[in-house]
Amino acid sequence: MWPYWYGGSFGVWGWVLMLVHAVLWVGVVALGVYLVARALRHSGMGPAPERVETPLEILRRRYAAGEISSEDYQRMKEELKHD
């Protein structure tokens, strides 16, 4: 038979220790979620950072799409190379 200290209840310290234990488990789970999210972000499995096009890449894309003429492309390309 189990001993019944304090009349079969936990007493004040029992409730305090249960609360501390619950807070510790919440902390452990939160730390685990943080570490997994951080590992995914640094492993390349997370969202890819946005890539910014260089001015020359934008010019090439516009020329390929037919937005600018060959003469404009050559002129702008030379201007970009001198900058």
Per-residue pLDDT tens for 8-65?
Answer: 566 777 888 889 999 999 999 999 999 998 888 777 665 667 889 999 999 999 999 9
Give residue 53's region: left, alpha or beta (phi > 0; psi -120 to 50). Answer: beta
Q: What is the pLDDT of residue 42?
A: 74
Q: What is the pLDDT of residue 34?
A: 96
59: nearest Cα among 29, 83, 26? 83
- In Å, how far are 1, 17, 33, 36, 75 from 26, measured between CA atoms? 33, 14, 11, 15, 63
- In Å, how far are 21, 49, 69 from 56, measured between CA atoms? 59, 20, 15
Quickly count: other Cβ atoms within 10 Å of residue 59's Cβ: 19
